């Protein structure tokens, strides 16, 4: 991320691209990846676009209710052809209750991922945050399912384009049981995802950068590059433990977590 601190786009272009990508999310239509039109854009530009989308939502009265890490497994990075993870924000209307219904027509080509969420009790500010800092600052861990929905055609993008698109964030469900991290073996914690009663994915916590807390540490350090921190009380989804699975209208899903219960939902 050598070019993280530099902008190649103007403020007007950043604002224009934020409107372009946010409209695609709000109205559920595909666009081509923005680096096709702006090949010179940098990681700083990409994050600036994401933060401008966030600013637009907050100005409209939406609340930011958490953060998410994306592309946090080596398998996922290979699947999407990117070099390192990314983060995004979670807006209030992304939240769906456990067992609730998700309107497929509000989305473009949704996929679901089994994740865990960490909720902090102390702030984390990078640089230099490591797993030990994260575990100390974590109040509890709980199950979460993320619905990702890239606004890009055929779910094809590069890292800069996906960062600008709020890392494909669209909906999430959290529930099940919470537990302090000391009570869990986070690396070996197993998950089983079922769609319409059939097992489609299994995985364990170590799929997320070797250790789930590593994802939160990376988020703190990436935010630190912008002078931002993770405040106490933040809900953070750590990224996929399983591969992302495409879902269709009418599909029901449930994800079972070792020692942490189940989360379910349905696409209508």
The strand pair at 235-237 and 86-91 is best described as unpaired
Amino acid 157: pLDDT: 87
Parallel, antiparallel, or unpaired: how do β-strands 101-102 and 111-120 relate? unpaired
Please state, as a whole number, how many other Cβ atoms lie within 10 Å of the Cβ of residue 12: 8
First-to-last C-alpha distance (Å) of the chain: 40
Give the pLDDT confidence score for residue 76 in this predicted structure. Answer: 72
Distance from C-alpha of 87 to C-alpha of 71, rounded to nearest angstrom? 9
pLDDT of 73 reads 80
Q: Mark the ranges of the chain whose per-residue pLDDT is less than 50.
A: 1-3
Q: Are strands 138-148 and 111-120 parallel, antiparallel or unpaired?
A: antiparallel
Say what the pLDDT of residue 39 is: 96
Q: Which CATH architecture best describes the domain 63-267?
A: Alpha-Beta Complex (3.90)
- List, for residues 26-48, the tens digit of each pLDDT value: 999 999 999 999 999 999 999 99
Give buried/exposed letters for 199-231 (b at 16+ CB in 10 A, else e).
ebbebbbbbbbebbbbbbbbbbbbbbeeeeebe
**pLDDT, tens only, 232-262:** 999 999 999 998 999 999 999 999 999 999 9
């Amino acid at each position: 991320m050598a070019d993280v601190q530099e902008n190649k786009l103007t403020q007007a272009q950043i604002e224009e691209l934020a409107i372009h990508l946010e409209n695609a999310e709000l109205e559920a239509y595909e666009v081509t990846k923005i680096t096709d039109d702006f090949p010179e854009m940098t990681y700083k530009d990409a994050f600036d676009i994401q933060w401008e989308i966030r600013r637009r939502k907050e100005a409209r009265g939406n609340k930011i209710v958490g953060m998410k890490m994306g592309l946090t497994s080596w398998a996922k990075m290979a699947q999407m052809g990117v070099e390192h993870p990314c983060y995004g924000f979670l807006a209030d209307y992304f939240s769906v209750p456990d067992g609730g219904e998700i309107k497929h027509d509000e989305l473009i080509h949704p996929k679901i991922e089994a994740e865990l969420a960490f909720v902090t009790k102390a702030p984390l500010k990078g640089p230099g945050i490591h797993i030990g800092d994260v575990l100390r600052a974590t109040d509890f861990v709980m199950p979460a399912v993320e619905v990702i929905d890239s606004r890009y055609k055929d779910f094809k993008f590069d890292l800069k384009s996906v960062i600008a698109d709020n890392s494909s964030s669209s909906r999430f469900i959290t529930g099940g049981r919470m537990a302090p991290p000391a009570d869990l073996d986070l690396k070996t914690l197993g998950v089983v995802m079922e769609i319409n009663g059939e097992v489609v994915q299994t995985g364990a916590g170590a799929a997320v950068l070797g250790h789930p807390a590593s994802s939160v540490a990376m988020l703190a350090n990436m935010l630190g590059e912008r002078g931002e921190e993770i405040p106490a009380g933040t809900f953070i989804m750590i990224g996929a433990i399983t591969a992302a699975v495409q879902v269709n209208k009418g599909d029901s899903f449930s994800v079972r977590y070792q020692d942490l219960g189940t989360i379910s939902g349905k696409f209508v």
